[in-house]
Amino acid sequence: MPRSGASSISFPAFRGTTRRLILANLFAYFALLLTRVASRSAAEWIAGVFVFFPGVFLHGALWQPFTYSFIHQGILGTALELLSLWFLAGFLEPMHNSSWVAGLYASSVFGTAISAAVIYVLSGTLGFSLPLIPLYGCFGGIFGLLVAFGVLYGDMEFMLFPLPIGIKARYLAVIYALIAVAMMFGEQRMYAFAQLGGGLAGMLFIRLAPRRGISFAFSEQWYGIRNRYYRWKRRRAARKFEVYMRSQGRTVRFDGSGKQIDEDPNDKKRWN
């Protein structure tokens, strides 16, 4: 577990889900950059297809809540996002596991997009003005990771680079949340509302998701269903065997799991 007090400014290990997320974002960034060099119109078309537009999503672009986080604009913003992703995901991953971090990040990214769609629908229903901006970048996933960091390890302090000031994780998460709330009264209210939605999705994940991650829970459910099916087949075969043995003048019994019950404890013969 992390200790109280100021932590080192060094970044955590670059491995597991943290490495895969960063490499995937870097690949998407440079692929779009090279496409822009070759054909600006093609790059704009690709970005328009994969960024998140609430109206386009509601009309059938169901992939956008999952793809917008891989679209980045500008080297500085991309670098800051990926460094934040490295620090937060790399810190949380050894404390939990790769599946848990991947589920937390994906839930936060998806929650960010759905929150933007919700405020878009509300703006049309209630009739208030909403400047529509496309969502891109992994800011929602990062905010979800930050919320998890603040909730689970709120007393941990680290240096607020580049200032020589220590701050607790919970206070940093609160500061970012207050900034997002303040932005809701400006021109980027959809962006701010979406970011808060990503934080809420991260909070719900750490409260409700299995400790070992969603994929582990799904695999456990799958194996449970498979094992129940095999037990049903064994009980069914046991009933057929009972009928067959009665036709041969023998009586055998099986328990609820399909295992034979010996009438005589001293009888070592079993029918399998």
The CATH number that applies at residue 142 is: 1.20.1540.10
CA 263 – CA 10 distance, rounded (Å)? 70
Residue 31 has pLDDT above 80, yes or no: yes
> What pLDDT is attached to residue 258?
61
Q: What average pLDDT does the segment 103-118 reach?
A: 94
17 compared with 217, residue with greater pLDDT: 17
Q: Are 167 and 243 found together in one domain?
A: no
Q: What average pLDDT does the segment 157-181 reach?
A: 78
How confident is the model over 16-25, as pLDDT tens digits?
A: 999 999 999 9
162 compared with 129, residue with greater pLDDT: 129
> What pLDDT is attached to residue 109?
95
Q: Flag whether 174 is in a domain.
A: yes
Q: Are 190 and 242 found together in one domain?
A: no
Q: Flag whether 214 is in a domain.
A: no
Q: Flag whether 76 is in a domain.
A: yes
Q: Are 9 and 44 found together in one domain?
A: yes
Q: Are 244 and 109 found together in one domain?
A: no
pTM: predicted TM-score of the whole model, two decimal places: 0.73
Q: Are 25 and 54 found together in one domain?
A: yes
Q: Which two tokens stand for residue 205?
A: 């994940």
Q: Are 200 and 245 found together in one domain?
A: no
For the chain, the domain total comes to 2
Give me the domain span that covers residue 250. 221-261
Q: Are 82 and 132 found together in one domain?
A: yes
Strands 253-254 and 260-261: antiparallel
Q: Are 189 and 232 found together in one domain?
A: no
Q: What average pLDDT does the segment 42-59 reach?
A: 92
Q: Flag whether 270 is in a domain.
A: no
Q: Are 151 and 239 found together in one domain?
A: no
Q: Flag whether 144 is in a domain.
A: yes
Cα dihedral 10, 12, 18, 24, rounded to 10, equals 30
Q: Are 236 and 198 found together in one domain?
A: no
**Strand-pair partners of 158:** 167
Sign of CA dihedral 65, 144, 191, 119: positive
CA 106 – CA 104 distance, rounded (Å)? 6
Q: What average pLDDT does the segment 121-128 reach?
A: 78
pLDDT-derived band at 240, boundaries 50, 70, 90: confident
103 compared with 262, residue with greater pLDDT: 103
